[in-house]
Amino acid sequence: MKAVGLTVLVDLLPYFGAEYFGTECFKLGGFVVCVPEGGRMGREIQSPALDVIQKFLVLYRYVRRYGRRAHCEGIRGRELSTLRYLHEVGPLTVGQITAYLFMSASSGSELVSRMEDAGYVTRRRSTDDCRVVFVELTAKGQQVAAETPLGGIPLLRERVTSLPPDKLDYIDQAFETLIAIMEIDPHEFQ
């Protein structure tokens, strides 16, 4: 590999397939890119657009880190969100869970099956209508929901409900703008 004496906007390296492997150097394609002594280039270039990108990256990294940490402890983010939601509101149908998690019905069914196999939830038929199946927490699921530190998307889900409507509208508009700028089809990510 060649060492390249170029400075780069370090925060954007992950979007170019770069891999961090030291305090000053990154692998980018077939090259090693080293940031000169004195720190991260791009930090001294300030603009409102750069501030927005950096804040987005902070949020993105935090959510990924929390998800990886939870996964290392044996539970995935959506599983934890489901456990906490069931813990808060009680038994729900798979359809209610998928609507809450903004995911497809087939993905929701797979999620509940994995959680059932892991012993976090059970399925129970409704006594009023045998076509309706409820998902409810087991003792193990109750324990995990109560003991796992709140963070990432589960924390966001809990805290965002306490925001005033005007703040929620403002945040919603900001996300709509980001989704449009990044040319994302939200339905592709259900």
Q: Same structural domain for residues 72 and 19?
A: no
**159 shares a domain with 108:** yes
> Among candidates 8, 54, 44, 56, which has minimal Cα distance to 174?
56
Mean pLDDT (whole number) for 69-87:
84
Say how far apart CA 6 and CA 32 lie, in whole Å.
10
pLDDT of 130-150, one tens digit each?
899 999 999 999 998 888 777
In a domain, residue 111? The reply is: yes
At residue 114 the predicted structure's pLDDT band, cuts being 50, 70 and 90, is very high
Count up the domains in the chain and report the number: 2
Q: Do 75 and 40 share a structural domain? A: no
In a domain, 63, yes or no: no
Name the strands in the sheet holding 92-93, side by side, starting at the edge strand that comes first in the sequence: 92-93, 133-137, 121-125
- For residue 137, what pLDDT is reported? 97
The reply to whether 172 and 100 lie within a common domain is yes
- 82 vs 4: which has the higher pLDDT: 82
Lowest mean pLDDT among 20-29, 44-53, 95-104, 133-142: 20-29
Query: Are residues 11 and 86 both part of a single domain?
Result: no
> In terms of domains, do 145 and 89 share one?
yes
Whole-number pLDDT of residue 20: 46
Q: What are the tens digits of pLDDT across the range 22-42?
A: 445 555 445 555 555 554 544
